[in-house]
Structure 1
Amino acid sequence: MKPEDTSGLSELGQAARDASATGSVKDPDWRPFPRGDEPVADSKAGDIAEAGGHSQRFWLGIGFAVAVVVALVAGGGLLLWANPEILGSSSPSAAPSSRVTGMSSGDSIGNKSPNPGQSLADSPETETKPCQLNGIEGTSGVPCEADSELAGSAGTASPPAGGTGAGAAEAVKGCDGATIVAPAKGKLTALELRQKFEALGEAAGAEIAVAWYDPKYGLVTAGKEGAWPAWSTSKVPLAVAVMQDGKGLDLQASMRQAITASDNAAAGRLWQGLAASNSERAEAMNRVLRQAGDSKTVVPTEQKLEGYSIFGQTTWTPTNQVRLAAALPCLKDAQQVTEFMGQVIPDQRWGMGRLPGAVFKGGWGPSGEVYTVRQFGWYEDSGGNRVFLAMAVKASSMSTGIALLDSFASVLR
């Protein structure tokens, strides 16, 4: 039998063990560590037992204290593991468009920055999350990798000469195999790009809402959310709905005019020819948006503003417009529509239209005392890679809005 280890006992505790082992204590009911309310057989054994009892209580107290400390440390560790933001900023900021905002790695759908002022280069890069071109929610604080459903298989591309921006080598493949990159590739980081857009908007005294796809950081925005009327940009899902309903051949001439020249009468013919009622027409457009992963945009069924189309008053954010743009190359029966988006007439080729290989649609109209001007689609960078983008501004006039979108396009060159 293995000898009992008594090294952890006090001198008096060992004496009590020794007394029990040698049989010097005659009372068969006596135990080395009796409860305090139990009598012992004789005084000597009682003295030893009392001393042993004190020793046992001492070590039991020490053991209890250690257990409490271990439990507290373990509990704190679990709390930090479940809530890592405790170690970060205690007040995440959602920034208005009136000032330049910061962005941290993984800031993938707006101005929610867990670490305001932190540069993208300083952000942790030890793990990845899906970029999720469609359906992305919130932030994760870490870089992302390509979403398998829309962005396609992840890959890398060599940065252009002189490219020094954070994530300059990041690229993914789109649903049709085209290489997708971030705007201003190799010249500006996502944070710098956001800052430039917001500074231009502030200088012009305008509200801005810009969204783009960055293979490293997912969907990124600058300025406001931009839940503003779609105006003529809504003619794109309308035209796709007509195509998917099998009426594209009969309405092809109207479709061309509606997309390339933003002709309202032609778009009206598309709307009327799509279905028998406004609710059915709106639902057909909603189905197109859902195919692109947009679960929130809803086309109205009644006229919201006298003198303007029902579908043109659809509330549509730039973020959800980027979702549709990214899906268009592979969306059912959308090829004819995207071809027309690449043939916009010269008079409407401002903003995104000034960029190479632009496939886009613009829209504009009054909203109270301001004018909303917007565009969405994609263009190509100097290497022929695709960039998904949506821009919207609320300015004092249409001309001011156009000038601001021109300024945005200059930043992207």
Structure 2
Amino acid sequence: MNHALEASLDALTLPGKVGVAIASIGAEPISLGEWTAGVAWSTIKVPLAIAAWRAGSASPDQLFATITQSDNAAAEQLWAQLGEPAAQLVQSVIRDAGDEATVVESRRLRAEYTPFGQTRWSLADQARFAAGLPQVPDASRVLDLMRNLSSDHRWGLAAKGYAAKGGWGPGITGGYLVRQFAIVSGTVGVAVAADVGEGGYEVGVDVVNTLADWVVDEVLAED
């Protein structure tokens, strides 16, 4: 099945480098495409929001802004309210969902961006996280928000009605990454990414929209 899916993905001839990972609880993720790992950007706001809600330090308004609008100021507030152990608390949520590898970044590596957003998160590990997310304690409120993103964030798999969260931003030495993960059933997670070079956000979103169509037509249709 993997070879057929890889050939089907390759046939899309999309700009830049793309990747797709599909994971089910208790099974090794399927990884397809050239792009396999990179900066999390705003996708990390999901475990951050859960960690903050779990700690009792987040208001409903902060959660709403962080997830549905991908508001950086609200996310920074959640991070600050968690205090010194913020990275460990966010990482604990990731572990609870079944991703045993990802290490949450605690340092501000790029002055203009959040520390947590620069966490390196592979597509396979993110898909594994997505698959396990519905079983994570204290995650239900954040999952509801992921199903109700604001209209300008409802692209890719979110546009198809799945609980999802996207992330995007420029590379240090060029390129532009747009990525997204979604829960496509109670135990299946999907993560997609497109590094579109100098194409920018709009091109990246267009590619992720195409990847979402492909996932629905070629992967989920087999289930």
State the TM-score, normalized to the length of structure 2.
0.88
Listed as ranges, the gaps of 5+ residues in structure 2 are: 218-223
The one-character-per-residue Cα deviations of 1:333-368 (angstroms, maximum 9, x if unpaired) are 11111010001111111111222x310000000013
| Displacement of 1:269 | 0.9
Question: Which residue does the alignment assign to 1:194?
Answer: 6
Say yes or no: does 1:400 pair with 2:210.
Answer: no
The CA distance in 2 between the partners of 1:291 and 1:226, in whole Å, is 22
Question: Which residue does the alignment assign to 1:186?
Answer: none
Match of 2:124 among 313, 319, 332: 319
Q: How does 1:9-408 map to 2 (within 5 A)?
A: 120=1, 190-200=2-12, 203-213=13-23, 218-224=28-34, 226-248=36-58, 251-275=59-83, 277=84, 280-355=85-160, 357-367=161-171, 368-379=173-184, 387-396=188-197, 397-408=200-211
**Residues 158 and 182, structure 2, Cα contact 8 Å, conserved in 1:** no
The CA distance in 1 between the partners of 2:132 and 2:25, in whole Å, is 15
Listed as ranges, the gaps of 5+ residues in structure 1 are: 1-119, 121-189
Code of the aligned partner of 1:398: Y
**Residues 210 and 222, structure 1, Cα contact 8 Å, conserved in 2:** yes
The one-character-per-residue Cα deviations of 1:143-179 (angstroms, maximum 9, x if unpaired) are xxxxxxxxxxxxxxxxxxxxxxxxxxxxxxxxxxxxx
| Displacement of 1:323 | 1.6
| Displacement of 1:247 | 2.3
Q: Secondary structure of the equivalent of 1:302? A: coil
Q: Secondary structure of the equivalent of 2:10? A: helix
| Displacement of 1:401 | 1.2
Question: Which residue does the alignment assign to 1:71?
Answer: none
**Residues 226 and 316, structure 1, Cα contact 8 Å, conserved in 2:** no
Change (3 A) 1:194 1:354: farther
| Displacement of 1:398 | 1.6
| Displacement of 1:288 | 1.1
The CA distance in 2 between the partners of 1:268 and 1:215, in whole Å, is 31
**Residues 18 and 194, structure 2, Cα contact 8 Å, conserved in 1:** yes
The one-character-per-residue Cα deviations of 1:1-52 (angstroms, maximum 9, x if unpaired) are xxxxxxxxxxxxxxxxxxxxxxxxxxxxxxxxxxxxxxxxxxxxxxxxxxxx
**Residues 198 and 222, structure 1, Cα contact 8 Å, conserved in 2:** no
The CA distance in 2 between the partners of 1:401 and 1:199, in whole Å, is 18
The CA distance in 1 between the partners of 2:72 and 2:26, in whole Å, is 39
Code of the aligned partner of 2:110: L
**Residues 329 and 335, structure 1, Cα contact 8 Å, conserved in 2:** yes
The structure 1 segments of at least 4 consecutive aligned residues displaced by more than 3 Å after TM superposition are 214-218
The CA distance in 1 between the partners of 2:174 and 2:11, in whole Å, is 22
Percent identity for Structure 1 against Structure 2: 35
Code of the aligned partner of 1:348: H
State the TM-score, normalized to the length of structure 1.
0.49
The one-character-per-residue Cα deviations of 1:190-229 (angstroms, maximum 9, x if unpaired) are 44333222333xx233111210136897410112352210
The CA distance in 2 between the partners of 1:298 and 1:215, in whole Å, is 20
Q: Secondary structure of the equivalent of 1:343? A: coil
Which of the two has higher C-alpha Rg? 1
**Residues 378 and 389, structure 1, Cα contact 8 Å, conserved in 2:** yes
Higher helix share: 2
Aligned length: 213
The CA distance in 1 between the partners of 2:81 and 2:187, in whole Å, is 33
| Displacement of 1:402 | 1.1
| Displacement of 1:318 | 1.2
| Displacement of 1:387 | 4.4
The CA distance in 1 between the partners of 2:153 and 2:141, in whole Å, is 19
